[in-house]
């Protein structure tokens, strides 16, 4: 006996009233860039990048009265009436979810004992999100940890009492690939809270927005074994979601 597919969007179970069928999504959508060159056959390949994707499925309400199926359609429309990305999850994805915006609710196809809608979602982020992970970098020390997934994760770093190191003139958190995040604690202050959101590219020191040091960069956690090393004082909490293609 087959297992029923459950689809949730923005915390709502779309399949409470409907059965899912004809689920369609691209395996790995890409934008390929080509340049025509005078006197050359074909075109010159200049690069490629992952593109946004569309997930489309058919939702069918079976049984009940026509009025009950009509009411189910109104509930579905209410759930989909959002203009901001929200989590879209399918039970077949094993706990992963996409950040999606409903693109089309489709026209109802009404049968004697069923009503169907073709619903599509636009996915701007090329990767799905997985479990939230947390690691702690000890004050002035380092930590080695695993980053799961198949796509880079962008962490959030939080230190409640970060202190400068005299050797680098700031508070630094370095990744094993040589990249590092760095903030400067104001003079006259022994320590201060630092929060860096590497996805949103924001950095605050003592609650005030500030810029990264010129040679610093936002941390990107590639899948695999990673090591973070702190120069300065004050333990840091690093949180990230695994991402999957």
- The helix/strand/coil state of 64 is coil
What is the pLDDT at residue 145?
A: 97
Look up residue 46 and give its two tokens: 């200049």
pLDDT in tens, the chain (245 residues): 456 788 899 999 888 888 888 888 877 778 888 888 888 888 888 888 877 888 998 888 887 788 888 888 888 888 888 888 999 999 888 889 999 999 876 677 888 888 888 889 999 888 999 999 999 999 999 999 999 999 999 999 999 999 999 888 899 999 999 999 999 988 888 889 999 999 999 999 999 999 888 889 999 999 999 999 999 999 999 999 999 98
* pLDDT at residue 2 in the model: 52
Q: How many CA atoms lie within 13 A of 202 on its CB side?
A: 8
pLDDT for 188: 84
Q: Are 101 and 83 in contact (CB under 8 A)?
A: yes
Query: What pLDDT, on the 0 to 100 scale, is given for residue 1?
Result: 43
Architecture of domain 129-244: Sandwich (2.60)
| The predicted structure's pLDDT at residue 154 | 95
For 154-195, the DSSP string reads --EEEEEEEB-BTTTTBEEEEETTS-EEEE-PPTT-S-EEEE
Where are the chain's structural domains? Answer: 7-126, 129-244
CATH of domain 7-126: 2.40.30.200
Say yes or no: do domains 7-126 and 129-244 share a fold.
no
Helices (H), 15-150: 66-80
């Amino acid at each position: 006996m087959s297992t029923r597919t459950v689809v949730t969007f923005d915390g709502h179970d779309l399949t409470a009233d409907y059965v899912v069928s004809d689920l369609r999504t691209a395996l790995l959508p890409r934008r390929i860039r080509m340049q025509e060159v005078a006197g050359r056959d074909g075109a010159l390949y200049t690069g490629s990048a992952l593109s946004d994707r569309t997930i489309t499925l058919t939702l069918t309400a079976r049984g009940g009265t026509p009025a009950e199926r009509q009411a189910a359609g109104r509930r579905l429309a209410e759930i989909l009436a959002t203009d901001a990305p929200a989590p879209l999850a399918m039970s077949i994805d094993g706990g992963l979810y996409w950040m999606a915006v409903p693109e089309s609710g489709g026209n109802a196809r009404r049968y004697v004992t069923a009503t169907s809608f073709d619903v599509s979602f636009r996915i701007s982020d090329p990767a799905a999100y997985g479990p939230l992970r947390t690691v702690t970098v000890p004050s002035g020390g380092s930590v080695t940890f695993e980053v799961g997934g198949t796509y880079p994760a962008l962490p959030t770093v939080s230190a409640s009492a970060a202190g400068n190191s005299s050797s680098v003139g700031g508070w630094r958190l370095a990744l094993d690939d040589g990249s590092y995040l760095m903030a400067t604690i104001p003079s006259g202050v022994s320590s201060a809270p630092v929060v860096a959101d590497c996805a949103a590219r924001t950095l605050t020191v003592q609650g005030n927005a500030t810029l990264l040091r010129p040679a610093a960069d936002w941390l990107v956690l590639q899948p695999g074994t990673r090591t973070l090393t702190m120069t300065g004082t004050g333990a840091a909490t690093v949180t990230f979601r695994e991402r999957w293609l």
